[in-house]
Amino acid sequence: MTDSIRILSIEDEADIRKFLRATLGANDMTVLEAETGREGLRLATSQTPDVILLDLGLPDMDGMEIIRHLREWTTTPIIVLSARGQERDKIEALELGADDYLTKPFAAGELIARIKVALRHASRPKGDAPFVYDYDGLTIDSAARRVRLDGEDVRLTPIEYRLLTVLARNSGKVLTYASLLKQVWDRHSPDNQTYLRIHTQHLREKLKDDALNPRFIVTEPGIGYRLNP
Ligand code: CA
């Protein structure tokens, strides 16, 4: 267990801490625990964990404040654990630099899957390096600028292609509407989610994807989109 993954949990609820300890421990991960924001920031600095699980409602500090502090000096993935229905909080946390969020209560398998996605992204080269995405019949070869579905070429408009590749570079991670608008349209960002919705709808049609039962593009209500897996 010398190279085991180290997770810092900043969480004040004893029941959730117990659940995290059991779940992460069963997956060969080492858990560092902080019950307050201040202690969490101290452990983040002194222990350099691989992933940080952050509860937004802490007794001594606002979770947003903690994300702001952490993002001044570290790119360690932060997964926010938030209560149900706090869409605005989730968006704010993602925009401050959190990588993902889980809504309580969440299942052990979901937590482990999100941690794996976060670790995968943390180890991946940043920027516009060429990449290949290959999942459930959909392949994207960014160097060849080619998209295929079940062996057939898919013809996409430049905007659809850009939208798909931004999602694919971040596969498994939720992207907010604002972040997608910025990344897909660059400087000419139309400040309008309708554009995004229409292009996503066209993209789904071309990928024979069903919004209600998605194979590829998952809607995160009120937040944005996430590409499987
Ligand atoms: Ca709490």
CA–CA–CA angle 148, 150, 151 (5° rounding): 60
Give the C-alpha separation, 134 to 139, whole Å.
Answer: 4
62 DSSP assignment: B
Q: How far is the CA of 25 from the centre of ligand 1 (A)?
A: 21
Asked if 25 contacts 49 with a C-beta cutoff of 8 angstroms, the reply is no
Q: How far is the CA of 186 from the centre of ligand 1 (A)?
A: 37
pLDDT category at 1 given cuts 50, 70, 90 is very low
**Average predicted confidence (pLDDT) for the chain:** 91
Q: How far is the CA of 44 from the centre of ligand 1 (A)?
A: 18
Residue 58: strand, helix, or coil = coil
What is the CATH number assigned to the segment(s) 6-124?
3.40.50.2300
pLDDT at 198 over 70: yes
Q: How far is the CA of 64 from the centre of ligand 1 (A)?
A: 13
Q: How far is the CA of 11 from the centre of ligand 1 (A)?
A: 6
pLDDT tens column, 53-84: 999 999 999 999 999 999 999 999 999 998 86
> Would you give the distance in Å from CA 91 to the centre of its chain?
12
Which token pair is 113?
Answer: 């899957």
Q: How far is the CA of 82 from the centre of ligand 1 (A)?
A: 8
pLDDT at 23 over 90: yes
pLDDT tens column, 28-49: 999 999 999 999 999 999 999 9
pLDDT, residue 2, reads 53
pTM here is: 0.79
Query: Alpha-carbon torsion 124, 32, 52, 25, what sign?
Result: positive
Q: How far is the CA of 197 from the centre of ligand 1 (A)?
A: 34
Asked if the peptide bond before residue 125 counts as cis, ω within 30 degrees of 0, the response is no
The larger pLDDT score, comparing residue 222 to residue 51, is at: 51
pLDDT at 148 over 90: yes
Residue 117: strand, helix, or coil = helix
Q: Could you tell me which residues are beta bridge partners of residue 57? A: 62
The larger pLDDT score, comparing residue 125 to residue 10, is at: 10
Q: How far is the CA of 229 from the centre of ligand 1 (A)?
A: 29
Q: How far is the CA of 109 from the centre of ligand 1 (A)?
A: 21
What is the CATH number assigned to the segment(s) 128-227?
1.10.10.10
Q: How far is the CA of 30 from the centre of ligand 1 (A)?
A: 21
Which token pair is 214?
Answer: 């998605």
pLDDT tens column, 166-192: 999 999 999 998 889 888 887 666 667
Write down the domain spans for the chain: 6-124, 128-227
